[in-house]
Amino acid sequence: MCNLYSMTRAREAMLRLFRVGDNRAAIVEPKAAIFPGHVAPIVRKAADGERELVNLNWGFVLQQKGRAPRRVTNVRDDKILSSPYWRGSFELRRCLVPASSFCEPKDVRPATWHWFALTGDHARPLFAFPGIWRRHKGRVRKNGDSVELDVFSFMTTLPNSLVATVNHERMPVLLTQEAEFETWLRGRPEDAYALMRSHAPETMQIVGSGLAKEDRQGCGQAE
């Protein structure tokens, strides 16, 4: 499970990698830490089929009788096809979630936070989590007012050998190539599902370990 990630690169870097026109992109700022319930950028198909960069709220909202609603931030690859909670969004509303690193805590006391990023020419090469989105209508807090907002969640799969040194259960799916982006956004469900695999461990690295719950390296870089 991933409940913390960063998107520290500049808006221009996102527009270039994900091929979004400036006039179709919201204003976004680099974020050293994105937690469940935070607003973060995603790329999705607009009504006319073109790509747009918009800010959505992280975490589908699961209503629980007599309890506070719960944020569901991750979607298991072995549940996406069978669960009615996820299936409609997977078939109709897929998106890309830009990121520069993600964090997993080691199960020790106190928790040690480990930040994972891709290797490459930049401090934090951009990538995308394959995500899904939907319109939520209802409460997000136990005694709060009803609201209407777009929310997103993203896919997880079995961990590779690097991530498994910290979390032996799950890791986010990572996409890095335009062909993958296009397949996830526009491809048939069976072709999109074929992208659900662990990322090659030799192309990743642990870039931080400790108590810090943010990753500021490369913050704002566009190149």
78 CA to centre of own chain: 17
At a CB cut-off of 8 Å and minimum separation 6, what does 208 contact? 101, 113, 114, 115, 215, 217
User: Considering the entire predicted model, what is its pTM?
Assistant: 0.93
For a pLDDT cut of 70, what percent of the chain falls above it?
95
Residue ranges of domains in the chain: 5-100+127-159+171-199
Q: Which CATH number fits domain 5-100+127-159+171-199: 3.40.630.30, 3.90.1680.20, 3.40.50.12780, 3.40.50.10190?
A: 3.90.1680.20
Cβ-contact 162, 203 below 8 angstroms: no
- Summarize pLDDT for 173-198 with one digit per residue, the tens: 999 999 999 999 999 999 999 999 99
Bridge partners of residue 205, in order along the sequence: 117
> How does residue 147 score in pLDDT terms, banded at 50, 70 and 90?
confident
